[in-house]
Structure 1
Amino acid sequence: MSDSKKILDAWDVYSDEHTDIDGWPYDDHAYGLRASQRDADTLAAFEPLRAGARHLLATAEAQLVRLPTNTVQSRWVYQLGVLRSALDQLDELHAQWLEIHDVLRGTPDFDGALADHHAESWSYLETWATHGVALREINTAARTAPSSLAPGPTTTPAHGPAPTARAGRARG
Structure 2
Amino acid sequence: MRDSQQILDAWDIYSDEHTDLDGWPHDDHAYGIRASQRDADTLTAFEPVRHGARHLLATAETQLTRLPKNTVQGRWVYQLGVLRDALDQLNELHEEWLATRDALPATAQPGTPAYDDPLAEYHAEAWSYLNTWATHGKALREINTAASKTPSPLTPIPGHAPARQSTARK
TM-score by length of 1: 0.87
2:165 aligned partner: none
What is the correspondence of 1:14-163 to structure 2 with a 5 Å cutoff?
14-104=14-104, 106-107=107-108, 108-152=113-157
Structure 1 unmatched runs, 5+: 157-172
Query: Cα RMSD between the aligned structures?
Result: 1.5
- Report the residue type matching 1:78 in the other structure: Y
Q: Which runs of at least 4 in structure 1 moved beyond 3 Å after TM superposition?
A: 152-156
- Report the residue type matching 1:126 in the other structure: N
What's the CA shift for 1:146? Answer: 2.0
What's the CA shift for 1:148? Answer: 1.6
Larger radius of gyration: 1
What's the CA shift for 1:54? Answer: 0.3
Q: Percentage identity across aligned positions?
A: 72
Distance in 1 separating the partners of 2:48 and 2:98: 17
TM-score by length of 2: 0.88
Structure 2 unmatched runs, 5+: 162-170
CA shift in 2, pair 1:144/1:106, >3 Å: farther
Question: In terms of mean alpha carbon deviation, does 7-16 or 105-114 score higher?
Answer: 105-114
Distance in 1 separating the partners of 2:91 and 2:158: 48
Indicate the SS of the match to 2:77: helix
CA shift in 2, pair 1:2/1:155, >3 Å: closer
Instruction: After superposition, give the CA deviation of every residue in 1:23-73 in whole Å (9 maximum; x if it has no partner).
Output: 000000000000000000000000111110000000000001100011111
What is the aligned residue count? Answer: 156
